[in-house]
């Protein structure tokens, strides 16, 4: 075999091994119309992607702006809001909630009292003694004082929260100290207030029973106070019963919640917030003060009730009233 033949075969073998395809076969001409269509589609897909991206970015920016708008006034006022402990924010919300609650309660009581006064002086004038409306003075004063006290507490707490900074250390603020002292000794006030309420409710029911006697009913037939036809005594009796149950529930829940709130404050600071001797002094002072308030309130209630009875008796014109006791 000649040398030229071997060279030709080697070249042919290399072409086969490399799987070289002729250039003319690779260069397939694409129709111009097909290229134009693909380019238009590609441009459309790109535009749609850009629009979607712009929409996503715009939505994210709007959400960010909405979050800024949704920030509370406290977050905007205090740059260290993120460092405020959970118990502090809970106490601030509770103070605001109590303030709104007692405001609502006061407004509802005023509206209900106004309606009751109107009905008593117009439609129920023949069946309800108007002097019974004097009993509305006590709850009116109580609701008004509760509203004012909680409003002042909330304002003081809110003003402190706008400037407080817990970032560097666990600050023991004035309001936190007051709050802790109050939580540790509040059961004294709560007990005296509830005892006063229970006594007033009992005296009111007693006056209700005496009123039944003056109406000529038998004192032994106490159920006469609950007849639907006798509106005055029915309203007083059932109102007192409902108030007594409600006060008992509030009494138990408040003492338990105060214990938990004081424990949360202690767990955050991990040191003695107020000396125990100071707590004992506060308890002693509160017991003395609340005892005086108790006797003044109960004495005033008895005196006003006696005055009402005297006025009613004088209205009877000296008529003798026979009281039958079974």
Banded pLDDT at 104 (limits 50, 70, 90): very high
Look at residue 252 in the predicted model and tell me its pLDDT: 92
d(CA 126, CA 313) in angstroms, rounded, equals 17
Banded pLDDT at 320 (limits 50, 70, 90): very low
Q: Is the pLDDT of residue 290 over 80?
A: yes
- Residue 98: CB partners within 8 Å, gap ≥ 6? 150, 153, 154
Quote the mean pLDDT of the chain: 75
Mean pLDDT value of segment 33-38? 52
Look at residue 214 in the predicted model and tell me its pLDDT: 58
- Residue 116: CB partners within 8 Å, gap ≥ 6? 133, 136
Q: Is the pTM of this model over 0.85?
A: no
Q: Which of 106-115, 135-144, 214-223 has the lowest mean pLDDT?
A: 214-223
Q: Please give the structure tokens belonging to residue 231.
A: 């509106």
Q: Which of 51-55, 98-102, 177-181, 183-187 has the lowest mean pLDDT?
A: 51-55
Mean pLDDT value of segment 160-164? 83
Percent of residues, the chain, with pLDDT higher than 70: 66
DSSP letter string over 145-204? HHHHHHHHHHHHHHHHHTT---SSS----HHHHHHHHHHHHHHHHHHHHHHHHHHHHHHH
Tens digits of per-residue pLDDT, 198-216?
998 888 888 777 766 655 5
Q: Please give the structure tokens belonging to residue 319.
A: 């008529």
d(CA 326, CA 221) in angstroms, rounded, equals 8
Q: Is the pLDDT of residue 235 over 50?
A: yes
Q: Which of 35-49, 87-101, 119-133, 262-276 has the lowest mean pLDDT?
A: 35-49
Look at residue 226 in the predicted model and tell me its pLDDT: 42
Q: Is the pLDDT of residue 264 over 80?
A: yes
Look at residue 15 in the predicted model and tell me its pLDDT: 47
Q: Which of 66-80, 237-251, 279-293 has the lowest mean pLDDT?
A: 66-80
Q: Which of 31-45, 124-138, 236-250 has the lowest mean pLDDT?
A: 31-45
Banded pLDDT at 227 (limits 50, 70, 90): very low
- Label residue 17 exposed, middle or buried (CB < 10 Å: 0-12, 13-18, 19+): exposed
Q: Please give the structure tokens belonging to residue 214.
A: 């003056």
């Amino acid at each position: 075999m000649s040398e030229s033949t071997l060279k030709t075969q080697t070249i042919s073998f290399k072409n086969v091994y490399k799987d070289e395809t002729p250039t003319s076969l690779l260069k397939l001409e694409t129709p111009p119309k097909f290229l134009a269509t693909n380019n238009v589609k590609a441009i459309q897909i790109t535009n749609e992607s850009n629009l979607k991206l712009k929409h996503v970015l715009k939505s994210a920016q709007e959400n960010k702006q909405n979050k800024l708008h949704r920030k509370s006034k406290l977050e905007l006022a205090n740059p260290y809001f993120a460092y405020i402990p959970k118990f502090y924010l809970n106490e601030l919300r509770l103070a605001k909630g109590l303030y709104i609650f007692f405001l609502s309660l006061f407004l509802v009581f005023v509206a209900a009292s106004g309606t009751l006064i109107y009905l008593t002086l117009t439609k129920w004038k023949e069946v309800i003694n108007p002097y019974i409306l004097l009993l509305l003075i006590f709850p009116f004063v109580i609701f008004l004082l509760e509203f004012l006290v909680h409003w002042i507490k909330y304002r003081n707490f809110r003003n402190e929260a706008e400037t407080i900074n817990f970032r560097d250390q666990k600050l023991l603020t004035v309001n936190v100290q007051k709050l802790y002292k109050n939580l540790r000794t509040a059961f004294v006030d709560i007990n005296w207030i509830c005892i006063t309420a229970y006594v007033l409710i009992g005296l009111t029911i007693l006056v209700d029973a005496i009123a039944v006697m003056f109406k000529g009913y038998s004192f032994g037939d106490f159920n006469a106070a609950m007849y639907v036809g006798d509106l005055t005594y029915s309203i007083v009796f059932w109102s007192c019963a409902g108030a007594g149950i409600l006060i008992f529930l509030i009494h138990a829940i408040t003492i338990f919640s105060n214990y938990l709130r004081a424990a949360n404050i202690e767990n955050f600071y991990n040191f003695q917030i107020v000396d125990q001797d100071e707590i004992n002094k506060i308890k002693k002072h509160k017991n003395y003060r609340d005892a005086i308030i108790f006797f003044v309130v109960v004495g005033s209630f008895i005196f006003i009730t006696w005055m009402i009875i005297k006025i009613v008796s004088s209205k009877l014109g000296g008529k003798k009233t026979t009281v039958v006791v079974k």
